[in-house]
Amino acid sequence: MKKRFSPVTLHYTLITGGFWMAFCVVTAYAAVYLQGIGCNNQELGLILAMGNVGGAVLSPALGALIDRNRKVRHAAVINVLLAVQVVLLVLLRVHARHDLLTAACYVLYMTAMMPVNAVNLDLCVRLERAKAPLDFGFARSMGSFSFVILSTLLGVLVAKWGFLTLPFAGLGVVALQFIGNRLIDRDLREAEAAVPGSETAVQVQSSGLITFVKENRMFCLMLFGTIILFIPHNMDGNFLINEVRNLGGDTAIMGLVASFTAITEVPIMMFSSKLSKKWETVQYIRLALVFFTLKILAYALAPSIPWFFAARILQAPSYALYTVLIVRYADSVVDRKDSAKAQSLAFSMTTIGSVLASLIGGAMFDSVGVRTTMLTAAAISAVGTVVALLGTMSRKKA
């Protein structure tokens, strides 16, 4: 209990909660904002794809920077990203028009927002190696809970006052992250100072990307599988409003669906440290990979809003289980010198999946409708599950 409610855990909860609330604004409500200024589904998909490409490129670049120069503080990197977000959110509020400038601002906003999570994940690894009292599972569960609170609130606010409330929400979330980032950086400095030589284990020169792939072929195969898996996962997340409207719901219902989905993640994440020791981390990862496909199929077949809510329960043994364990899994199969790169690549693969989801989903939702699109998504997910499972057949690092 001391570890769960330690200052380090609470401060890490602030940055985790802040990121997932930002994710709620920029992704879960992307369709609401962009359709609000007049974008169709294909334009929405293109903007989201470009934003995710930017995030996917920037995340490993920042990970490599941190790996190669441990004097670069996580906090400094994140503060720059947050400052960029502030400027872009102001522009998205004062210039909410269906034009190239607004589209460019949204793309850049996503590009600056997405890498924050990859940096936060490497920060988690650094804290744990410095023996800081951090309960990552609890902090990540509170990230999902924060998503729930904001998603529910925004569903009501947007229904009442319109989509222009979203940039204000984004600015509030950035302020929260600035505060949490300063506190957690102080925690890291204190923890590392208390463990002399804790940094020496990561001073070996990190591998270049090509070398990393050669040295971690099976891990990278697993990541390739997650790209495929996160195509349908993000088709659901990016275009959730379309699924809800197809079943007779509105923006307020969409907010509740997104909130309910996130709340199902909380128990798994909060009690991840209590998972049965009879299974290794890789076995839980495999279970999660299978449930990714089962949940998308359930979403596709849901005949009504109540059944759609029921299907969202499958988020727990799929996305929630994968998310809370992927940091531990990556750390177990990849050398320490490449830890930041592994974390950023894992997140970038999910982001690439979102890119493809935006392009494929935007075209399909407009052309063939919701049911056909989601059934196709289930078939894509099945392929991703098989590929990712093959990639988990690797031996642990020495």
User: Which DSSP string do the residues of 143-167 spell out, in sequence order?
Assistant: HHHHHHHHHHHHHHHHHHH-GGGHH
Query: What is the enclosing helix (H) or strand (E) of 264?
Result: helix 251-270
d(CA 380, CA 62): 30
Q: Is the pLDDT score of 75 beyond 90?
A: no
Q: What is the pLDDT of residue 263?
A: 85
Task: Sort residue 99 into left (φ over 0), alpha (ψ -120 to 50) or beta.
Answer: beta
Predicted confidence (pLDDT) at residue 147 exceeds the cutoff of 80 = yes
Which tokens sit at 254? 């969409």
- Mean pLDDT across the chain: 84
Higher pLDDT, 381 or 332: 381
Is residue 225 predicted with pLDDT exceeding 90?
yes
Q: What is the pLDDT of residue 172?
A: 93
Both tokens assigned to 265: 């993640």
* Residue 72: φ, ψ to 5°: -75, 120
Contact 35, 94 (CB under 8 A): no
pLDDT of the residue at 207: 64
CA dihedral sign, ordered 63, 64, 67, 72: negative
**Cα–Cα distance between 395 and 324 in angstroms, integer?**
21
Question: What is the pLDDT at residue 176?
Answer: 92
pLDDT at 205: 58
- The number of CA neighbours under 13 Å toward the Cβ of 205 is 4
Of these ranges, 144-158, 245-259, 376-390, the one predicted with the greatest mean pLDDT is 376-390
pTM over 0.95? The answer is: no
| Whether 233 contacts 289, CB under 8 Å | no
Q: Residues 290-307: what's their mean pLDDT?
A: 95
Q: Do 155 and 254 form a contact (C-beta atoms < 8 A)?
A: yes
Q: How large is the average pLDDT for residues 264-270? A: 83
SS3 359: helix
- Complete domains list, the chain, with CATH: 7-391 (1.20.1250.20)
> How confident is the model over 66-91, as a mean pLDDT?
85
